[in-house]
Amino acid sequence: MAGSLPRRFQRNVGSNYAMTVASIVVALVMTPVLVHGLGKLEYGIWALVGSLVWYLPLLEFGFGAATVKYIAEWHSRGERERVRATVATSFWLLCVAGVVTFAVGVGLAALFPVVFDLSGDLERASQLLILLVTFDLACAMPMDTFGNVLTGFQRFDLLNATLVVVLTAQAAAWAIVLAAGGGLVALGLATVALSLCGQASRFLLARRLSADVTVARRFFDRTLIRPLAGLSAWFSLTTWSQVVIQRFDVVVVGLVVGVAEAAVYAVGQKLALLADQAIMPLTRTFFPFSSETAVWRPTRELGRSVYAGTRITLLIAAPICISLAMLASPALSAWVGAGFDEAVLVVVFLAAAAAIRALTQVSVQMLLGTGKAQQPALFSGAEAALNLVLSIVLGRAVGIEGVALATLIATAIVHLGLILPYACGTFSLPVRGFLGGLARSHGPAVVAAFTLAAILRQANLGSLFAVAAAGAAIALLYFLVFAFAGLDRGERRRVLSDVVGGGE
């Protein structure tokens, strides 16, 4: 498997997981701190502002991903002038997106107190908070160019180091502000100041890696606008489709089934999303890797990387999906208490959908990285449309379980029926051989994990610790069976060398 995994594989994937864990820990620790420090009403404003501005980065319209692709490609070719032009052109184009974002933020600030019926000090505080956060986003859009440069250079470790430091510093600043009696505006100021420091640090790191990282206006290249915009349009379609697939289901449940049921669905969905969150830090490393590798290897010769990456992805995703599906009932009961029984099938269906997506995520990242973004984007659009229609139909007929089933059906049709054959054809992988190889290496581990999960399901798992311990036991058994039954001796030695040695 030498050369089939991205450079600095262990370090980059490890840093991605470190960032994911840091985000989870900060959310768990700081949520009660913010709730009690702000009070229910002001925390509600904080949460609403965060939810609304989450969508504003979509106004970047995929330029960031397109920048990563071209930076990785030109850097691999040694074309320094192209790298300089791509960085400068992307920066100034994203300045325009930043201005548009801030203008939208001004509109949100004006409407927010009216829509949510706020007055007096809360009105002014909410408006200032929105302006602060959108100013941060407006600055971040062009400044993210330097984070994209680090990604294009496959230096996820440096990028994540800055993100983790900023995240933990923001959490500490929030605690200090609340302890000093500060409110929403003070929290916003601290958040923005530290975020801008993070952006500056990424600029300095990118400059340290390459003197070609410059935003001088003389390097702005109008001829790059068309290829950047053409590729970014397909990236943007993919991103918007994923928003519909992953975030619109709760809205559909609220409209079709009821608001109370939407809360139940949201809890089940949040639990099931653990599977996607677990594999994303791994699969995203294949995007810049494929952009770089495609320069000196034909696309059809990247099949070994697709297969190796998918096999490792399943090693992470399969035990998590099995644990979620089989232990959904005790997990929900231990986590949120009684009254969420309807969410059990939601978790089961969404975990199954996540397992299917795990079969194609590496190939999708590599298709995007090699510039073949049109077909995956169209497939994502089709999946979003099918998901939405089926969610409405099945939600009316069955309830919240029907909405989750709609996601599973749409995922199976698009990923198994469209994306998988297309990716296998592009990377010269026979579909039967690809699936057969995965089944041979993972089949025994899947059977063993399901068997253990069925046994543990009958036990009294009355606490989150007990559920987590059961999930850990399932994962451990999966890894052991995979190591001894899924790999022959030579493969075991090569995989160990690639993963432990960093895949370099």
How is the chain split into domains, by residue range? Answer: 1-220, 248-504
Q: Which two tokens stand for residue 65?
A: 């991903």
Mind listing the pLDDT tens digit for each residue in 36-79? 888 877 877 787 777 677 677 777 777 777 888 888 888 877 88
Q: What is the pTM of this model?
A: 0.80
Task: Return the minimum-mean-pLDDT range out of 296-300, 315-319, 395-399, 441-445.
Answer: 296-300
Residue 82 has pLDDT above 80, yes or no: yes
Q: Roughly how many angstroms between the first and final C-alpha of the chain, as a whole number? A: 11
Long-range CB pairs of 226-233 (<8 Å, 24+ gap) are 227/70, 228/63, 228/66, 228/67, 228/70, 228/86, 228/89, 228/90, 228/93, 229/63, 231/62, 231/65, 231/66, 231/69, 231/70, 231/371, 231/373, 232/61, 232/62, 232/63, 232/65, 232/66, 233/61, 233/62
182 φ, ψ (degrees, to nearest 5): -75, 165
Closest CA to 307 of 203, 437, 484: 437
In angstroms, the CA 265 to CA 347 distance is 9
Tell me, what's the pLDDT at 356?
96
368 or 231, higher pLDDT:
368
Q: Give the residue-averaged pLDDT of 363-381.
A: 89
Mind listing the pLDDT tens digit for each residue in 332-351? 888 877 777 888 999 999 99
CA of 364: how far to CAs of 58, 304, 418, 441, in Å? 20, 14, 12, 22
Closest CA to 263 of 335, 324, 342: 342
Q: Which two tokens stand for residue 315?
A: 């090693």
C-alpha 22: how far from chain center: 14
Task: Return the minimum-mean-pLDDT range out of 31-40, 158-167, 188-197, 492-501.
Answer: 492-501
Burial 322-344 (b: 16+ CB within 10 A, else e): bbbbbbbbbbbbbebeeebebbb
Mark residue 8 as left, alpha or beta (left: phi above 0; alpha: psi -120 to 50; beta: remaining). Answer: left
Q: Give the residue-averaged pLDDT of 455-466.
A: 86
Q: Give the residue-averaged pLDDT of 408-413.
A: 96
Residue 428 has pLDDT above 50, yes or no: yes
- In contact, 275 and 355? CB cutoff 8 Å: yes
Tell me, what's the pLDDT at 495?
58
Q: Which two tokens stand for residue 121?
A: 């000090």
Q: Give the residue-averaged pLDDT of 348-356.
A: 95
- In contact, 122 and 45? CB cutoff 8 Å: yes
What Rg do the C-alpha atoms of the chain give, in angstroms? 23
Mind listing the pLDDT tens digit for each residue in 180-237? 988 889 999 999 999 999 999 999 999 998 888 888 888 888 888 888 787 788 888 8
Residue 2 has pLDDT above 60, yes or no: no
| Cβ-proximal residues to 101 (8 Å cutoff; 6+ apart), any chain | 56, 57, 59, 134, 137, 138, 141
In angstroms, the CA 378 to CA 289 distance is 23
Residue 123 has pLDDT above 80, yes or no: yes
Q: Quick one: 374 exposed, middle or buried, by C-beta within 10 A (0-12, 13-18, 19+)?
A: middle
Tell me, what's the pLDDT at 303?
87
Share of the chain above pLDDT 70, in %: 95
Tell me, what's the pLDDT at 424?
93
pLDDT confidence of 478, banded at 50, 70, 90? Answer: very high
- In contact, 100 and 58? CB cutoff 8 Å: no
Q: Which two tokens stand for residue 431?
A: 């579909």
Tell me, what's the pLDDT at 389?
94
CA atoms within 13 A of residue 336's CA, in its CB half-sphere: 17
Average pLDDT, the chain: 86
Tell me, what's the pLDDT at 497?
61
Tell me, what's the pLDDT at 502?
46
